[in-house]
Chain A
Amino acid sequence: MVNNVAKKNTLRKSLLVIPLAFAMSCAFNVANAEKLPELKINKAKAELGKRLFFDKRLSGDAAISCATCHDPEKGYGTDKALSPGYPGNGHFRNSQGLINTAHKKVWLHDGRLGTSLNDVTREMITEDYIMNMDMRIMQERVKQDPKYVEMFKAAGYGEPSNGSVRKAIPEYLKTLTSKNSPYDAGKMSDSAKAGEKVFKDKGCVSCHSGALFSDGKAHNTGVPENFDVFLDPMNHQAFIAFAMFQGIENYMNLKRDPGAYVQWKKADKSNMGTFMTPSLRELTQTAPYMHNGMIKTLEEVVDFYNKGGGEDSHKDAAMKPLNLKDQEKKDLVAFLKSLSGDKLTGADYVWSEKYSGEYPVIADWNNKPN
C-alpha cells in the first residue's frame, strides 16, 4: 500500500480536525508505521452529517438513529455480539465500528457494497431490518425542521433532499478517523514492538496489511456460527429477509452466514463463509470481535489464530497452528492494542443539542410553495 505523506493543505479552514497526531509522529518517526492518508473535509457538510447521524427521525418509526447501532462510546459499534435491529426484529451480524470507515473501498462484513459510503448510507437507511425508512418521508421530515433548512443551505446543498442527506453523512464519517494511537504517535511499548514482529513473522500481515491493516479482501478463517442468529426468531427473520433478498437458493434452510458468497455465488460454494478482512485499528473500543461477535477478547482472538483458526473445509491456507509462546501471545495483544487511540466522543464528533420533539409548523402554509 502507498504510504501517503500528509497532504499540504493541512491548514485549510475546511478541516474539522487538525491531524496533530500525524504531525507529531513525524518527529518520532517509526520506521515503517503505515499512516492513513488525510481526508479533506468540508466542515459545514460534516456538521450537517453529524446532526443527521444522531437523529432518530431518520428511521421509519423515528425510534432509532445511526448511533443506536454505532455508539461513539463503543468505537461507533456496540458491545453486543449481534447488532440490534430495527424495532420489531433483531440482526444477524456484529455492528461494525465506523472509525476509519471512510478509508475503505469496500464495506460491510461481506463486502457487498464496493461503490461509496453514499450507497452504504442508503442501505442503512432504507433496509427494512435496519432503519426501514421511506426516503421520501425522511426528506419531508428534514424539510420540516428549520435548523436543517439552514444547515443544508450553509452546506451548499440548497433545499434539503434525500440525495444530500446521503452526501452529508459520509462527509461526517470522514471525521471519524484514528486519533493518537501509540502506533501512529510512535509511542509503542517494547512489548507492542515485539508483538509487531510476531504479527509480521506469523503471517497476520498477509491479510491484515497496509495502513488499515486490511487487504480489502474476503477470507475464510473458520469463525464459528453464532447460533443466536438462528435460535432467536427476531434475529432469524432479519437473516431470512436478507438471504431472500440476496437471492440465495434454499434460504429457508440456510444454517450459516453465507458471507461474501453473496457477491459471487460460486457454483461449488467454496466462498461460503468468507468475510472481509477487518481493519485492526481501534479494536480496544469495538469488542466483541468477528462478523458475528463470537470472540469476546483480543486474547481469545490470538488463541483462535494460534490454533489455526476454526473449522471449515474451505478455510484459507494461511490459517495454520502458530505455536506461539505465552510471551509472544502477550506481545501480539499489546501490538493490537497499540493500534487503538482516543475515543471520538467530544462535541467535535457527537451532536449533543436536543432535537425538538415536535415538528414546527410551516406558517402561512396556504401561500407558501411546498
Chain B
Amino acid sequence: MSNTTRKILPSLITASFVACVGAATTVVQAEGASPAPLAPLDSIKMPIPPDNKQSDAKTELGKLLFFDPRLGGDASVSCSSCHDPEQGWAWAEDFSRGYPGTTHWRNSQSIINSQYMERQFWAGAAASGERQAPAAAKGGVAGNGENDIMEARLALIPDYVKRFKDVFGDEWPLIGNAWRAIAAYERTLIQTDTPLDKYLKGDKKALNEEQLRGKAIYEGKGGCIECHSGALTTNQEYVNIGVPPSKRWQKDGLAQITFRFEQYAKGQTEKGYRKAKSDWGLYYRTKNDWDKGKFRVPSLRYNTYTAPYMHNGVFFTLEEVVDFYNKGGIDEEGNTTLFPDNKDKRIKPLGLTDDEKSDLLAFLEAFSGEEMVTPKPKLPEYAPLFTKAELEAVKK
C-alpha cells in the first residue's frame, strides 16, 4: 500500500481502556428525550467481559488467529479476508465476498470500534465479540468451518499450542478460547484521535468552517443526531430508514442462492422463505412484523474507509447517502424499503441545499482519522505431533 499506511500504535490502544467519563451510550432513550450529544470516543469505556480480560499475550494470539485462514473450512478464508485492513477492515463491495463458491448477502462491517457495540452484526444477531466470532467462522457463506477440524488444526501448530497454554492454560487449544482471543484483539482495534474527537476535547482548530456548519446541520436541520448520537455516533436502536433492497437479487444467480439460504439460516417460516424479497433485518430475531427492515444504527466513525454503505451496500458514496436522507429515505430512482409502514417517522425530506449537503459531507469526514493498517503477521506453521520412532513403538 501507499505511504499513508501506518501501524496501529499500542499506546493509543491502552490509553482507551483507562477512564470512563460516563457517557450514557447504553441508556435507551425515552420518546422525546433529547439525544446524547456527540462525545469523544475515549470518554466511554470498552466493555470487557469479566471472563475475558485483556492481556498483551492474548491480543497477540488473537491477532494471529484473526489473520489465520486455517480457522475456516478450506483453510483459505480468514476473518481478515472479509475484514481487510486495506479495505477499512471490511470489504469494498456492496455484498461482502463469501466463502469460496458463495457470495455473502450483506455488506461487511468494519472491525474498527465494533467491540464497543452492545450487540454485533447489522441486525444485532450476536450478543458479543466472543459469540460473534464463531458465528462468522462457521457460517456457510462466511468461514464455513467446523469446531472439530479447526480445533484439530490448532493442536498441530506448536506455536499455538504454547500460546493457548500460556494465555488460557489449555492442554490443547480449545476453540472457544480462540474466539476469546480474537474478541480481545478486536477490542484493540479502535480509533480515538479523529478530528471530531480532537475538536470535542477542546482543539477548536480540528474542524474547519465548512465542517462546523456541517455539524450544525447534523445536530439540527439534518436530524442525524436523533440516531447517530453519543460517543459512538449511534444510539444502537434498530430502525428502518427506508434502505431499498439490493438490485443484485435481480441479476446475480449466486446472490439469489445465498438469499434463499439465509432465509433458512435465519429461521424463516416456509411462508416467509417463499415470499421474502429483501433482507428482513431485525425480524429474523424477534419475528415481529413491525421489525421488518430494521437494522442497528451503525456508527459513522471510520466511514471514510468503509464504502459502500448500508446493510446491503446499496450506496457507494457518502454523497448518495446524504441525497437519500435528503429525499426522506428514498434513493434517486425513487426506491425505498419494501416495508414502508415500518419506516421511522424521523426520516423525512430535509430540504438541504447543495451547500448544506456539502457542509454535512465535510463534517462526516471528521469522523475518521488516519487509515489504520497493520502488516499481515507471519503465521506459525504446522508440525507433526509424533515422531516415526514414537509411532513404531506403539504396542498393538
Residue B9 lies at the interface, judged by CB distance under 8 Å to chain A = no
Is the CB–CB distance between B75 and A88 below 8 Å?
yes
Bound state CA distance, A272 and B258, in angstroms?
A: 44
Residues A149-164 near B (CB distance < 8 A)? none
Is the CB–CB distance between A231 and B386 below 8 Å?
yes
Some 29 contacts from A to B, beta carbons below 8 A apart, are: A59-B101, A60-B99, A60-B140, A61-B99, A61-B144, A63-B100, A87-B74, A87-B76, A128-B148, A134-B140, A137-B261, A140-B260, A143-B257, A227-B388, A227-B391, A236-B156, A237-B156, A240-B148, A241-B149, A244-B151, A252-B385, A255-B390, A313-B395, A313-B396, A359-B253, A359-B254, A360-B253, A369-B274, A370-B260
Residue B20 lies at the interface, judged by CB distance under 8 Å to chain A = no
Is the CB–CB distance between B152 and A370 below 8 Å?
no
Bound state CA distance, A187 and B243, in angstroms?
A: 74
Residue B45 lies at the interface, judged by CB distance under 8 Å to chain A = no
Closest Cβ of chain B: how far from A242's Cβ, in Å? 8
Candidates A141, A232, A358, A370; contact of B263 at CB < 8 Å: A370
With A231-B386, A365-B249 in contact, is A255–B75 under 8 Å at CB?
A: no
With A62-B100, A230-B386, A366-B250 in contact, is A144–B275 under 8 Å at CB?
A: no
With A225-B391, A273-B396, A370-B274 in contact, is A233–B382 under 8 Å at CB?
A: yes
Bound state CA distance, A57 and B172, in angstroms?
A: 35
Is the CB–CB distance between A144 and B253 below 8 Å?
yes
Residue B316 lies at the interface, judged by CB distance under 8 Å to chain A = no
Candidates B75, B140, B148, B253; contact of A244 at CB < 8 Å: B148
Is the CB–CB distance between A241 and B152 below 8 Å?
yes
Bound state CA distance, A62 and B141, in angstroms?
A: 12
Is the CB–CB distance between B144 and A132 below 8 Å?
yes
Is the CB–CB distance between A237 and B153 below 8 Å?
yes
**Chief secondary structure at chain A's binding surface:** loop
Please name the residue on chain A nearest to B256 by beta carbon: A362
A227 to chain B: which residues have CB within 8 Å? 388, 391
With A60-B73, A128-B146, A359-B256 in contact, is A240–B277 under 8 Å at CB?
A: no
Interface 0/1 of B261-282, CB less than 8 Å to A: 1011100000001111100000
Bound state CA distance, A130 and B255, in angstroms?
A: 25
Is the CB–CB distance between B101 and A61 below 8 Å?
yes
A252 to chain B: which residues have CB within 8 Å? 155, 172, 385
Is the CB–CB distance between A136 and B140 below 8 Å?
yes
Closest Cβ of chain A: how far from B344's Cβ, in Å? 24
A232 to chain B: which residues have CB within 8 Å? 384
A272 to chain B: which residues have CB within 8 Å? 396
Bound state CA distance, A140 and B256, in angstroms?
A: 9
Interface 0/1 of A229-260, CB less than 8 Å to B: 01111101110110011000000100110000
B: which residues have CB within 8 A of A? 70, 72-76, 99-102, 140-141, 144-146, 148-149, 151-153, 155-156, 172, 249-254, 256-261, 263-265, 273-277, 382-386, 388, 390-391, 394-396
Bound state CA distance, A312 and B394, in angstroms?
A: 11
Candidates B101, B253, B264; contact of A60 at CB < 8 Å: B101
Chain A to chain B: the 9 pairs with minimum beta-carbon distance, closest first:
A359-B253, A88-B75, A62-B101, A134-B140, A240-B152, A61-B100, A128-B146, A233-B382, A88-B74
Residue A348 lies at the interface, judged by CB distance under 8 Å to chain B = no
Is the CB–CB distance between B257 and A141 below 8 Å?
yes
Please name the residue on chain B nearest to A126 by beta carbon: B146
Residue A89 lies at the interface, judged by CB distance under 8 Å to chain B = yes
Is the CB–CB distance between A241 and B384 below 8 Å?
no
Is the CB–CB distance between A60 and B249 below 8 Å?
no
A132 to chain B: which residues have CB within 8 Å? 73-74, 144, 146
A: which residues have CB within 8 A of B? 57, 59-63, 86-89, 128-129, 132, 134, 136-137, 140-141, 143-144, 222, 225, 227, 230-234, 236-238, 240-241, 244-245, 252, 255-256, 272-273, 311-314, 358-362, 365-366, 369-370
B258 to chain A: which residues have CB within 8 Å? 137, 140
Bound state CA distance, A136 and B140, in angstroms?
A: 9
Bound state CA distance, A86 and B256, in angstroms?
A: 25
Is the CB–CB distance between B396 and A128 below 8 Å?
no
Beyond contacts A60-B101, A252-B155, A255-B394: 10 other A-B pairs, Cβ-Cβ < 8 A, are: A61-B101, A134-B140, A137-B261, A144-B253, A230-B385, A252-B385, A255-B391, A313-B395, A366-B250, A370-B259
Bound state CA distance, A143 and B264, in angstroms?
A: 14
Candidates A86, A137, A236; contact of B140 at CB < 8 Å: A137
Please name the residue on chain B nearest to A145 by beta carbon: B253
Bound state CA distance, A143 and B156, in angstroms?
A: 39
Please name the residue on chain B nearest to A62 by beta carbon: B101
Bound state CA distance, A314 and B396, in angstroms?
A: 8
A140 to chain B: which residues have CB within 8 Å? 257-258, 260-261
A143 to chain B: which residues have CB within 8 Å? 257, 260
B146 to chain A: which residues have CB within 8 Å? 128, 132, 241
B394 to chain A: which residues have CB within 8 Å? 225, 255-256
Candidates B249, B265, B396; contact of A136 at CB < 8 Å: B265
A59 to chain B: which residues have CB within 8 Å? 101
A89 to chain B: which residues have CB within 8 Å? 75, 149, 153
Among B73, B155, B249, max chain A CB count under 10 A is at B73
B386 to chain A: which residues have CB within 8 Å? 230-231, 255
Is the CB–CB distance between B140 and A361 below 8 Å?
no
Bound state CA distance, A227 and B388, in angstroms?
A: 7
